[in-house]
């Protein structure tokens, strides 16, 4: 364990008789090792508690456990009886809705006024009850740095070389790239990956560098909530939506050079909510933003949120949000937001969706990392109104049916995408014929006309396209009331994306 200034701060606080210290971290194992070292430097016994193993003296699984201390209240009573020591409780915040636990914590904290020691709580974005807040100090354990990963790599190579023959065929540059690819992982995860690379074939080679990425992807996707989404097209493949594009373009420099932006006084943008008519390019924009900004795109799939593991879903959701923050800077895309949170007000599932919804809203507002959220929705009636309030998103855009110019552009983009030359067609006529069409409906007409032309052995012409367009009943004709309702709703609450 390298010396870590995070723990110097902890020791200072304990010496200064701060009795309740919250350490905000996703790396509890790393924190634990630091606490144990701090305790020995402070000449204090170290105790650790978790709901599953109860209160234990020491860090090792073989260290003695105090029987009957799994219940938080009992464990806190045992702390009172023990008196002096450094007591680490992990995940205690999950029990703060129990007033007995909160009042026990207060008793323990008061007791440290007269005795040496402290109660240390670990967790991620721990929310303290009002009663505890005045007594607590929060330290944020900074994430692993390039040097931490490098030290870890060197240490593992050393350790394994002592036990087995290890061939290291990495240039200095390769090592740098390998270490870079570990960014965003916790040190525990990074250790697992490097170990696997070494042990599998007794060697570390340049081609292992790519395998770090694959392993990282696996870690990100293991919860089944987040998915690395490939993105291949930029905003130049999106027609119209000039207002939205301009807004995004003005933030590009901040995203690509966040440090300089921060020095200038500008923070990383939070995100946008895109609402509107189906098939008009909301999802397309979400994908293009990541490409345009050169950031990885993570997609949150809300349909897995309320899966079979009901009790777990809240936990999984929190973990997914932590993962997103760790991999920052990224674009996080939440498609069809209303599907994830529509049932939030109903208590049909024992309040799980309501709690996840609350967690998500506070995450939107308070999150730390450079995560740009693009959320999309086409069913505004089902969207909980909380999303619309100020502060959750930087801006809410309304994406309407494309106007004449945008439709011409959509025709050109999709014709070119399918190896057709727009100059051979009468675009003016097609623009008129597709009035009221969404981008998706225009695209479908082109594809159908191409199938017809190919089957009859002819080339695509204006007539064939007009036939398909004429045969299409766009949503604006079949459900005009629905579109009107969306528009009326949006007029008061959103900014036009055009």
Is there a contact between 343 and 349 (Cβ–Cβ < 8 Å)?
yes
Quote the least distance from Cβ 295 to ligand ATP, whole Å. Answer: 19
Residue 288 is a binding residue for Mg ion (CB under 5 A): no
Among the listed residues 176, 224, 234, 278, the single contact to ligand ATP using CB under 6 A: 278
Closest among 7, 47, 54 to 27, alpha carbons compared:
7
Residue 410 is a binding residue for ligand ATP (CB under 6 A): yes
Among the listed residues 283, 316, 377, 438, the single contact to Mg ion using CB under 5 A: 283
Q: Which residue lies nearer to Mg ion by CB, 188 or 476? A: 476
Among the listed residues 148, 443, 468, 498, the single contact to ligand ATP using CB under 6 A: 443
**Three-state DSSP class for residue 307:** coil
Is there a contact between 4 and 144 (Cβ–Cβ < 8 Å)?
no
Helices (H) and strands (E) in the chain, counts: 20, 15
Q: Is 104 left (phi over 0), alpha (psi -120 to 50) or beta?
A: alpha
Instruction: Tell me the C-alpha to C-alpha distance, in Å, between residue 189 and each of 23, 113, 182, 324, 336.
Output: 20, 38, 9, 15, 32
Residue 304 is a binding residue for ligand ATP (CB under 6 A): no
Site for ligand ATP in 232-251 (CB under 6 A): 238-241
Stretch in the footprint of ligand ATP (CB under 6 A) among 12-20, 89-97, 107-115, 435-443: 435-443
Instruction: Tell me the C-alpha to C-alpha distance, in Å, between residue 127 and each of 54, 221, 315, 451.
Output: 22, 27, 15, 58
Residue 486 is a binding residue for ligand ATP (CB under 6 A): no
How far apart are the C-alpha atoms of 9 and 360, rounded to whole Å?
31
Residues in the interface with Mg ion (CB under 5 A) total 2
Residue 281 is a binding residue for ligand ATP (CB under 6 A): yes
Please, which residues have CB within 8 angstroms of residue 106's CB and are 6 or more apart in sequence? 131, 132, 135
Is there a contact between 224 and 304 (Cβ–Cβ < 8 Å)?
yes
Binding mask 423-462 toward Mg ion (x if CB under 5 A, else -) reads: ----------------------------------------
Tokens of 315: 């936990």
H or E segment and range at residue 206: none
Residue 440 is a binding residue for ligand ATP (CB under 6 A): yes
Q: Which does 281 bind (CB under 5 to 8 A by kind): ligand ATP, Mg ion, none?
A: ligand ATP
Stretch in the footprint of Mg ion (CB under 5 A) among 202-210, 283-291, 397-405, 417-425: 283-291
Binding mask 362-401 toward ligand ATP (x if CB under 6 A, else -) reads: --------------x-x-----------------------
Q: Which residue lies nearer to Mg ion by CB, 10 or 286? A: 286
Q: Which residue lies nearer to ligand ATP by CB, 176 or 384? A: 384
Quote the least distance from Cβ 370 to ligand ATP, whole Å. Answer: 25
Closest among 128, 91, 139, 136 to 109, alpha carbons compared:
136
Q: Which residue lies nearer to Mg ion by CB, 123 or 281? A: 281
How far apart are the C-alpha atoms of 344 and 186, rounded to whole Å?
32
Q: Which residue lies nearer to ligand ATP by CB, 93 or 443? A: 443
Q: Which does 443 bind (CB under 5 to 8 A by kind): ligand ATP, Mg ion, none?
A: ligand ATP
Residues in the interface with ligand ATP (CB under 6 A) total 19
Burial of 391 (0-12, 13-18, 19+ CB in 10 A): exposed
Tokens of 113: 């006024």
Q: How far is CA 244 from the centre of its chain?
A: 23
Q: Which residue lies nearer to Mg ion by CB, 91 or 278? A: 278
Stretch in the footprint of ligand ATP (CB under 6 A) among 9-17, 45-53, 280-288, 347-355: 280-288
Binding mask 141-180 toward ligand ATP (x if CB under 6 A, else -) reads: ----------------------------------------
Quote the least distance from Cβ 400 to ligand ATP, whole Å. Answer: 10
Site for Mg ion in 100-159 (CB under 5 A): none
Quote the least distance from Cβ 100 to ligand ATP, whole Å. Answer: 48
Q: Rounded to the nearest 5 degrees, what angle is found at the Cα of 391, between the Cα atoms of 389 and 392? A: 75
Q: Is 117 left (phi over 0), alpha (psi -120 to 50) or beta?
A: left
Among the listed residues 284, 305, 356, 411, the single contact to ligand ATP using CB under 6 A: 284
DSSP 236: G
Burial of 30 (0-12, 13-18, 19+ CB in 10 A): buried
Residue 466 is a binding residue for ligand ATP (CB under 6 A): no
Termini Cα distance of the chain = 55
Q: Which residue lies nearer to ligand ATP by CB, 139 or 244? A: 244
Sites of contact with ligand ATP (CB under 6 A): 238-241, 278-284, 376, 378, 402, 410, 413, 439-440, 443
Q: Which positions touch Mg ion (CB under 5 A)?
A: 282-283
């Amino acid at each position: 364990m390298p010396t870590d200034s995070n723990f110097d701060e902890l020791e200072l606080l304990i010496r200064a008789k701060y009795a309740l210290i919250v350490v905000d971290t996703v790396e509890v194992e790393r924190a634990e090792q630091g606490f144990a070292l701090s305790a020995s430097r402070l000449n204090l016994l170290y105790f650790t508690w978790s709901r599953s193993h109860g209160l234990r003296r020491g860090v090792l699984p073989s260290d003695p456990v105090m029987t009957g201390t799994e219940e938080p209240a009992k464990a806190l009573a045992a702390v009172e009886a023990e008196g002096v020591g450094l007591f680490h409780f992990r995940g205690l915040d999950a029990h703060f809705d129990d007033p007995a636990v909160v009042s026990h914590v207060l008793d323990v904290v008061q007791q440290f006024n007269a005795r040496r020691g402290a109660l240390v709580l670990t967790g991620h974005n721990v929310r303290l009850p009002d009663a505890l807040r005045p007594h607590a100090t929060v330290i944020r354990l900074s994430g692993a740095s390039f040097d931490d990963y490098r030290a870890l790599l060197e240490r593992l190579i050393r350790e394994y070389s002592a036990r087995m023959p290890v061939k290291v065929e990495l240039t200095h540059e390769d090592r740098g790239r390998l270490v870079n690819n570990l960014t965003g992982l916790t040190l525990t995860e990074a250790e697992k990956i490097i170990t696997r690379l070494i042990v599998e074939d007794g060697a570390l080679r340049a081609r292992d560098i790519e395998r770090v990425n694959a392993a990282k992807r696996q870690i990100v996707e293991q919860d089944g909530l987040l998915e690395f989404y490939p993105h291949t097209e930029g905003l130049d493949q999106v027609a119209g939506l000039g207002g939205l594009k301009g807004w995004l373009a003005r933030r590009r420099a901040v995203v690509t050079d966040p440090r300089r932006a921060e020095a200038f006084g500008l923070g990383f943008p939070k995100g946008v909510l895109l609402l509107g008519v189906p098939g008009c390019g909301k999802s397309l924009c979400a994908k293009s933003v990541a490409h345009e900004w050169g950031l990885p795109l993570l997609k949150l799939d809300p349909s897995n949120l309320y899966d079979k593991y009901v009790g777990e879903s809240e936990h999984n959701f929190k973990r997914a949000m932590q993962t997103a923050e760790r991999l920052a800077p990224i674009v996080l895309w939440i498609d069809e937001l209303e599907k994830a949170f529509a049932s939030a007000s109903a208590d049909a599932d024992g309040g799980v969706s309501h709690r996840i919804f609350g967690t998500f809203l506070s995450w939107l507002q308070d999150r730390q990392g450079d995560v740009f959220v693009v959320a999309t929705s086409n069913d505004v009636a089902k969207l909980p109104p909380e999303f619309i309030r100020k502060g959750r998103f930087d801006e809410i855009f309304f994406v309407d049916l494309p106007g004449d110019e945008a439709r011409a552009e959509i025709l050109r983009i999709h014709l070119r995408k399918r190896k057709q030359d727009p100059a051979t067609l009468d675009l003016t006529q097609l623009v008129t014929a597709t009035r009221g069409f969404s981008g998706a409906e225009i695209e479908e007409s082109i594809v159908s006309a191409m199938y017809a032309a190919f089957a009859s052995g002819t080339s695509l012409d204006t007539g064939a396209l007009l036939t398909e367009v004429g045969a299409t009943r766009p949503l604006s004709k079949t459900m005009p009331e629905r579109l009107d309702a969306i528009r009326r709703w949006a007029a008061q609450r959103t900014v036009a994306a055009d």
